[in-house]
Chain A
Amino acid sequence: MAQKKKVTARVVSQKQIGEQIFDLWLETKLAKNAHPGQFVAVYPHGESMLLPRPISICEADKAKNRLRLVYRVAGKGTAEFSTCKEGDQLELLGVLGNGFPVDKARGKRVFLMGGGIGIPPMLELAKAMDDKKQVLLGYRNKDLFLEEDLAKYGDVYVATEDGSVGTRGNVMDIIKSYSLRADVIMACGPMPMLRAIKNYAAENGIEAYISLEERMACGVGACLGCVCKTTKEDAHSHVHNARICTEGPVFEAGEVNL
């Protein structure tokens, strides 16, 4: 896995696809080694901003050496990225993290569950899985994104918090209203959603793999900034704190305390 590098990537294209949501294609050799659920850390140009911003990989076009990042503008760093145009350059550190265990879903009924800005990594994951999958997406309102891309690879169900499209509520409400069933769950989204999935998986005796996020500094496992609580002793520090950037971001739901 020693594929981590800091590289300069060229912006191929960027467009806004939702409220504060941007769709960025970058040309970089990092695409070759990208696995679904991994992330890159993108450096702002502004010298007052030091730390790279972790952003999940939405798609990796290995043939063309391109990575697609779909991200939400959350502060000054991501606001700067959103102004990038074709031909601009961005420094990236990647590819980082473990990614989703695609093999665990082989031959099984699977839910891919994404909530909000947790939806983007579901696309590369859906592409990597041959079996039929049920894609459950939660949005705030009718300002949907990536649902058409995902519909090419699975049966998409949408929930919106305001009920303007699909099921009113969140991804858990989709399961109830359509009486869906799965043997394995792969998910990324806000903490309340991940907690609900962890409980649902435990109650129904199914495997769930969830992608976590936390404030990061180094992105490579050195600073110990981005830890999460684990039920078993972690391999690095032996204190029930795993590094989200390195042992994660994807954990089996039973392994972590949320």
Chain B
Amino acid sequence: MATLISIPIFALLMILQSSLFSRIPLLYGTMDLLLLVVVAWALQKRVQTAWQWSIVAGLIYNLVSALPLGIPLIGYGITTGIALVLRRQVWQFPLLAMFITVFFGTLITHTISVTALRLVGHPIPLVEAFNLITLPSLLLNLILAAPAYALMSDLAARLYPEPLEA
């Protein structure tokens, strides 16, 4: 159930991302709604479907984007791994873990994207890409990190309710 619900959620997020948020850039960077939700979901303490959600997000991203096949999947997968490690290490401060994961997740997904694009022949200049795209995207993602975490906490509380104490 928790995995299946990710399909309409990420489909809706992709529609919003491609038709709305990609049109409102900061410099040339845009926020990554799917990354935010993948991270926020993975950091929920009772959630056990973090990997499944990151796979669904990566596949849906690849359906729309011209990025080489599997690149979003790898980026979201590594980010989910970081989130799960941090969930165990800094479980007392989930919001701090959210910010740290979004920070590194954005850098990792962008690095993987640029590397893959350069390998397939896109002449992307590294310094310009970092200054004009990655840094503004990082800022936008960090701004939206807290609201994304709050929304996913609500969803996790509905899908994984606290067990009643005897």
Q: Does B associate with A?
A: no
Interface residues of A (CB under 8 A from B): none
